[in-house]
Structure 1
Amino acid sequence: MRATGIVRKIDNLGRVVIPKEIRKEMKINNGNTLEIFVDQDDSVILKKYSPVDELDQVQDYVNTLVETTECDVMITDTDKVIAGSEELERYERRPVGAVIKETMENRNTEIIEEGTKGDICEDYEHNEEKVGSILIAPVMKQGDVLGAVILSSQDQSLGDYEVKIAETTAKILSKQLGL
């Protein structure tokens, strides 16, 4: 744990403001959910909460989608890749790219015909390297975006069949998330 030198008072409703600099550094935005931990030495620790990361069978969903669609697959939360098929597992735990974030924010399923590695992850080497078609289906619960189901294929263009499969998986995942 590192000290920031910032001290805040708790108001009469028990609230404390997380400084803008820390929110920016940690990529904490309005509406994000934080998990609260209490340490043995009376420390209170706030951690970004990812309900998608808590799912036990997320890799099973990935494997089933690979078998069903013959595409590469990954599942993300709003910030990072949670699980990926064999071809995309190198992206796991990496931050999602701007295109994926934008699609999640728009709350619509999108197909990008000529995707690049930079569309998938923001800090991946050789970001301009082509990865083929990318389909992004947001996972939403009660109007909040919690992540995305992403299909990718260099061999085939993605169409209505893959859209329906990805959207159905996103809905199933949202029902699995206990918020």
Structure 2
Amino acid sequence: MKATGIVRRIDDLGRVVIPKEIRRTLKIREGMPMEIFTDVSGEVILKKYSPVGEMSQLAQSYAEALVNLTGLGAAICDTEQVIAVAGPVKKELLHKPVSPQMDELVQGRRSFVTNGESTVLAAQGYTAAALAVFPVVSTGDPMGAVMLIKGEKSPPKVGSEAMESVKAAAMFLSRQLES
């Protein structure tokens, strides 16, 4: 754990303000859910909560099903990192932070399908390119995305059946988060 030298007092409602510099550095946004942990030495630890990350086994199974349906690599991310990878995609993509392009799509709740020329980088520091991206949205909040990843032998465009499959996956995960 890293000390910041910042001290904050608890107000009369039991609240503590996380300094703006720390929120900006850790990409903590207003309304973002936080998980609270305590340990035996009296430390209180805040961690960004990822409902999609809690469903990582289900996400992994769905990514594998997408590979079987489409023949393309598949990945699922939450708002921070890639949480599931399947198919001819390198496993190094798993747990990589999402790229700024992907973050923009997720936060904007926008989908993307390649026109045969453009792609979206899936993760920072990794060359995996997404051919199709559909956001996972629960109760109006962006939670992540489902994407088809370009492989060495992938066609330049995504077929309509593959596109509908990845769209259905995003809708399914969105419904799972709402229930």
**Same-fold call, TM > 0.5?**
yes
1:7-32 deviation per Cα after TM superposition (whole angstroms, max 9, x unaligned): 00111222111011211222212222
Are residues 1:149 and 2:150 paired?
no
User: In structure 2, what is the equivalent of residue 90 of structure 1?
Assistant: 92
**Equivalent residues, number:** 173
Mapped to 2, the partners of 1:87 and 1:16 lie a distance apart of 46
User: In structure 2, what is the equivalent of residue 105 of structure 1?
Assistant: 107
Structure 1 residue 176, shift from structure 2 partner? 2.0
TM superposition outliers: structure 1 runs of 4+ over 6 Å: none
Bigger drift between 21-30 and 106-115 goes to: 106-115
Structure 1 residue 169, shift from structure 2 partner? 0.8
Are the counterparts in 2 of residues 81 and 93 from structure 1 also a CA contact under 8 Å?
A: yes
Are residues 1:44 and 2:44 paired?
yes
Mapped to 1, the partners of 2:24 and 2:43 lie a distance apart of 22
User: In structure 2, what is the equivalent of residue 74 of structure 1?
Assistant: 75
User: In structure 1, what is the equivalent of residue 173 of structure 2?
Assistant: 173
User: In structure 1, what is the equivalent of residue 24 of structure 2?
Assistant: 24
Structure 1: stretches of 5+ with no match in the other structure: none
User: In structure 2, what is the equivalent of residue 2 of structure 1?
Assistant: 2
Are the counterparts in 2 of residues 36 and 45 from structure 1 also a CA contact under 8 Å?
A: yes
Mapped to 2, the partners of 1:54 and 1:178 lie a distance apart of 13
Mapped to 2, the partners of 1:35 and 1:87 lie a distance apart of 34
SS at match of 2:35: strand
AA paired with 1:149?
V
Mapped to 1, the partners of 2:73 and 2:160 lie a distance apart of 17
Structure 1 residue 115, shift from structure 2 partner? 4.9
Structure 2: stretches of 5+ with no match in the other structure: none
Mapped to 1, the partners of 2:6 and 2:124 lie a distance apart of 30
Are the counterparts in 2 of residues 74 and 82 from structure 1 also a CA contact under 8 Å?
A: yes
1:125-177 deviation per Cα after TM superposition (whole angstroms, max 9, x unaligned): xx5xx84x610100000000100000123324114322221121112112222
SS at match of 2:175: helix
RMSD over aligned Cα atoms: 2.0
